[in-house]
Amino acid sequence: MAGAGGLTRDHKGSWIRGFSRNIGFTHSFAAELWGLRDGLTLAKNLNIKKIHIELDAKVVTDFVTTQNTNIMANHPCHALIFDCRLLIQTFEEVLVCHTYRE
């Protein structure tokens, strides 16, 4: 069983809004992608223009920031990866970084 969630904060670190999703049976990579997609959609709906995305899954960070789109073509989660990459392009400024979960 998997779930995903996240939150949005303003430039001072104050909480704006959070979200969560019950995904059902899947693997952690897909759950992280769903969380990213939901967070990006929330930020877009809140008319946020500049976004700093922190992910604790390094592999997801690498997949959404790579310039090599050939590695995604046959990936089982290619549709989710593609959605995330498209959503990221809708923001004026984007910083995607890996942060360690501690």
Going from N- to C-terminal start, the domains of the chain cover: 2-98
pLDDT digits (tens, 9 = 90+) for 34-89: 999 999 999 999 999 999 999 989 989 988 888 776 767 777 888 899 999 999 99
Rg of the chain (C-alpha set): 13
Q: Residue 79 corresponds to which amino acid?
A: A
Residues 34, 35, 36, 41: what is their CA dihedral angle, to the nearest 10 degrees?
A: 90
Global pTM?
A: 0.89
Task: Write the CATH number of the domain with boundaries 2-98.
Answer: 3.30.420.10
Count CB neighbours of 81 within 10 A.
Answer: 22
Q: Which pLDDT does position 78 carry in this prediction?
A: 84
Q: Which pLDDT does position 16 carry in this prediction?
A: 94
Torsion region of 91: left, alpha or beta (phi above 0 gives left; psi -120 to 50 gives alpha): beta
Report the distance separating Cα 72 and Cα 84, nearest Å: 12
